[in-house]
Amino acid sequence: MSTTGAPSPIAYSESALSFRKEIRIWLADNAPDEVRGLRVPREPSPEIEAVIARWAQTLTEARLMCVAWPEEYGGRGLSGVEVAIMNEEFDRIDVPRLTRGMGESLVGPAIIAHATPEQKRRFLPPIISGEHVYCQGFSEPGAGSDLASLTTSAIVDADRLVINGQKVWTSGFFKANMIFTLVRTNPDAPKHHGISYVLVPITIDGKPNGIEFRPINRMTGLAHFSETFFADAVAPLDNVIGGLNHGWQTAMTTLGSERGASATTAHLAFFRRFWQLVGQVRARGLIDDVRVREQLAWMYAEAEVLRYTGFQLMATLASGNTPGGAGNGSSNKIRWSEYERRMAEIAMDLLGPDSLVVGPGYELDEWQEEFLVTRSHTIWGGTAEVQRNIVGERVLGLPKDPQPISSTTPRGNQ
Ligand SMILES: Cc1cc2nc3c(=O)[nH]c(=O)nc-3n(C[C@H](O)[C@H](O)[C@H](O)COP(=O)(O)OP(=O)(O)OC[C@H]3O[C@@H](n4cnc5c(N)ncnc54)[C@H](O)[C@@H]3O)c2cc1C
């Protein structure tokens, strides 16, 4: 069932409507009962993992993975509008819309835009099949927003790179068998010109490749990211994407994709959470309380605003523009990340003392976890402050802030 009963305010093209029909029929015929209503937890049990793997396989066979990639690379060449339609249809019957994670959304677009034909043949199919699972080694202790200050270095040794240094906040390291990372390959070149973008296997022939992950606990208690140390890790020179010392442009493609088109359908999850909270509040007999209603009204109205800005973004996509451009991407990132934070705060407030109680073994419930996790959403993928700078300078044309790192391109600024 749709999470928002309101009619769509945009007129879809004939081809978009027929695509919606195709997806709807396919889902009716192929979505098994085991995935209907399935919530993928942040730490799935082995049973849920198995269900997810089966569903991922079904989607792969139906060519419903990496759907935005061009057909020649195994995707379906779907437009942003069609991707949004697909998300809506999955949401309508409440089945998980699985993707190939960072491989699909961050590395794939960079390979498609900057790799050689041979590299595309070698690296794209294993992302679609799920054989290669990537994590992102960009941030360093002294280079987050100021990404080009990175110091992890690599030297050329015959036909390979030998990598040494440290990264941090490597999300999903525990699932990955590949890491895409930025390394300084020419210390004498200007800051943005001596960097290479390289795909590094985490093991080689089953043996460790000099990469050590030291897990960092998040507030939720889960170690979802790590410090990452490279000690003489190696990667073939053929794994450098975009050319040796020319990795910055490749990295910019990845960062542009990081904010991507998810804003077009983020509201689907927001409405789902809203109705969930309404149910909980009603069960507590608080639904007629004016103060409660005010907060719920804000939550609903803002989700509607996000829905409409999502449609606006869809229109941009339909006109052939990409959503990663400075204005759309940054303002959407600010809006949804701040909305998510506030939404979880409201839930904590409305659930009152219950929000403080944790389960046996100290498990968090969904809202407690949401509250803690969403603190970080205004940080990753470019902080809200950096996004505001981009909107101010690039969209509104305000004068640049005098800043100590003025020679750099802040993360997320493309
Ligand atoms: C949950 C989570 C997952 C992450 N996953 C990954 C991952 O998988 N791989 C990866 O490589 N990285 C990852 N990161 C790192 C993330 O991209 C960085 O944290 C982010 O880019 C900010 O960098 P920083 O932490 O070094 O902060 P800093 O750059 O040190 O910034 C500190 C503060 O200063 C502000 N600031 C900095 N520069 C400016 C400026 N020019 N103008 C105004 N304010 C400024 C920032 O907004 C921030 O508030 C993750 C982070 C989080 C929280």
CATH of residue 295's domain is 1.20.140.10
User: Reduced to 3 states, what is the DSSP secondary structure of residue 165?
Assistant: strand
**Same domain as 190, residue 145:** yes
- List, as one string, the DSSP characters of 115-147: S-HHHHHHHHHHHHHTS--EEEE--BTTBSSSG
How far is Cα 97 from Cα 119, in angstroms, rounded to an integer?
A: 28
Q: Of 78, 98, 118, which residue constitutes the final position of a domain?
A: 98
407 pocket-lining for ligand 1 (C-beta < 6 Å):
no
378 in the same domain as 266: yes
Q: Which two tokens stand for residue 48?
A: 């849920």
Provide the number of structural domains found in the chain: 3
How far apart, in whole angstroms, are the C-alpha atoms of residue 38 and residue 59? Answer: 15
Q: How much is the average pLDDT of 26-37?
A: 96
CA distance 288 to 213: 51
pLDDT of residue 345: 97
**Residue at which a domain ends, from 194, 213, 248:** 248
Q: 3: Cβ below 6 Å to ligand 1?
A: no
Q: Answer yes or no: is 160 within a domain.
A: yes
Task: Say yes or no: 89 and 215 in one domain.
Answer: no
| 268 and 390 inside one domain | yes
385 ligand 1 Cβ < 6 A: yes
Domain-embedded: residue 310: yes
Asked if residue 403 has its Cβ within 6 Å of ligand 1, the reply is yes
Atom of ligand 1 nearest to the CA of 403: 41
Amino acid, single-letter form, for residue 114: H
- The whole-chain average pLDDT of the chain stands at 90
Please give the pLDDT value at position 414: 34
Q: Helices (H) and strands (E) in the chain — how many of each?
A: 12, 9
Tokens of 392: 């101010």
How far apart are the CA of 212 and the centre of ligand 1, in A? 22
Do residues 361 and 273 both lie within one domain? yes
Instruction: Please compute the mean of the pLDDT values over residues 195-205 and round it to a whole number.
Output: 98
Give the tens place of pLDDT for each residue, 37-91.
Answer: 998 877 789 999 999 999 999 999 999 999 999 999 999 998 888 888 999 999 9
Check whether residue 149 and residue 169 sit in a common domain.
yes
- Is residue 93 domain-shared with residue 183, that is, in the same domain? no
Can you tell me the distance from the alpha carbon of 313 to that of 319, in angstroms, rounded to the nearest whole number?
10
Q: Is 2 in the pocket of ligand 1 (CB under 6 A)?
A: no
Q: What is the pLDDT of residues 345-363, one digit of tens each?
A: 999 999 998 888 888 878 8
Residue among 88, 258, 340, 370 flagged as catalytic:
258
Contact yes or no for 137/143 (Cβ under 8 A): no
Write the pLDDT tens digit of every residue in 294-330.
Answer: 999 999 999 999 988 888 877 776 676 665 555 677 8
Within this chain, do residues 222 and 283 fall inside the same structural domain, yes or no?
no
Instruction: State which of 82, 98, 114 marks the end of a domain.
Output: 98
The amino acid occupying position 118 is E
CA 146 to centroid of ligand 1, rounded, Å: 8
Dist. CA 66–CA 59, nearest whole Å: 10
Element (H, E) at 298: helix 290-318
> Is residue 8 over pLDDT 80?
no
- The span from the first CA to the last CA of the chain, in angstroms, equals 38
**Rg of the chain on CA atoms, in Å:** 22
* Distance (Å, whole) CA 125 – CA 321: 26
Q: Which residue has the tokens 């205004």?
A: 378
What's the pLDDT at 9?
A: 61
* Cα-based angle 162, 168, 170 (whole degrees, multiple of 5): 90
Alpha carbons 20 and 24: distance in angstroms, whole number: 6
Q: Tell me the best of 106, 134, 139 to mutate to test the pocket of ligand 1, counting ligand atoms within 8 Å of each CB and taking the most.
A: 139
Strand partners, 178: 134, 201
Note whether residue 411 is domain-resident: no
Q: Tell me which long-range contacts 286-293 makes (C-beta under 8 A, separation of at least 24).
A: 286/350, 292/350
Residue 198 domain-assigned? yes
Tell whether 221 and 297 lie within a shared domain: no
Nearest-angstrom CA–CA distance, 24 and 21: 5
Among positive and negative, which fits the CA dihedral 38, 81, 102, 144?
negative
258 noted as active-site residue: yes
Residue 406 has pLDDT above 50, yes or no: no
Q: Which residues pair with 382 in a beta bridge?
A: none
C-alpha 169 to ligand 1 mean position (Å): 9
143-166 confidence digits (pLDDT tens): 999 999 999 999 999 999 999 999
**Tell me, what's the pLDDT at 324?**
54
Query: Whole-angstrom Cα distance, residue 226 to residue 233?
Result: 17
Q: Which two tokens stand for residue 65?
A: 């993975």
Is the separation of the CB atoms in 230 and 165 below 8 Å? yes
Give the pairing of strands 225-236 and 211-216: antiparallel
Range of the domain at 199: 131-248
Q: Which residue has the tokens 């835009």?
A: 113
In a domain, 27, yes or no: yes
| Residues above pLDDT 90, as percent of the chain | 70
Pocket lining: 90 vs ligand 1, CB cutoff 6 Å: no
Sign of the Cα torsion 226, 52, 371, 133 reads positive
Q: Is residue 2 part of a domain?
A: no
- What are the backbone dihedrals phi and psi of residue 212, each rounded to the nearest 5 degrees, phi first? -115, 130
Tell whether 243 and 263 lie within a shared domain.
Answer: no
Query: Is residue 244 located within the same domain as residue 162?
Result: yes
In a domain, 381, yes or no: yes
- Asked whether the predicted pLDDT for residue 369 surpasses 70, the reply is yes
Helix (H, G, I), strand (E, B) or coil at 155: strand
**Residue 261: pLDDT above 70?**
no
Say if 300 falls within a structural domain: yes
Dist CA 184 CA 154 (whole Å): 6
* 333 close to ligand 1 (CB < 6 Angstrom): no
Mean pLDDT in residue range 330-355: 92
Please report, for the domain that includes residue 224, its CATH number: 2.40.110.10
Residues 229 and 157 in one domain: yes
Distance of CA 128 to the CA centre of its chain: 17
276-296 confidence digits (pLDDT tens): 999 999 999 999 999 999 999
Cα 20 to ligand 1 centroid, rounded to whole Å: 38
Structure letter (DSSP) for residue 62: T
Amino acid at 320: G
Task: List C-alpha distances in Å: 47 to 43, 177, 315, 338.
Answer: 11, 22, 40, 34
Higher pLDDT, 264 or 353: 353
* pLDDT at residue number 341: 96
Residue whose CA is at the smallest distance from ligand 1 atom 37: 145
pLDDT band (50, 70, 90) for residue 401? confident
Q: Tokens 């003025």, residue? A: 406
Residues in the chain: 414
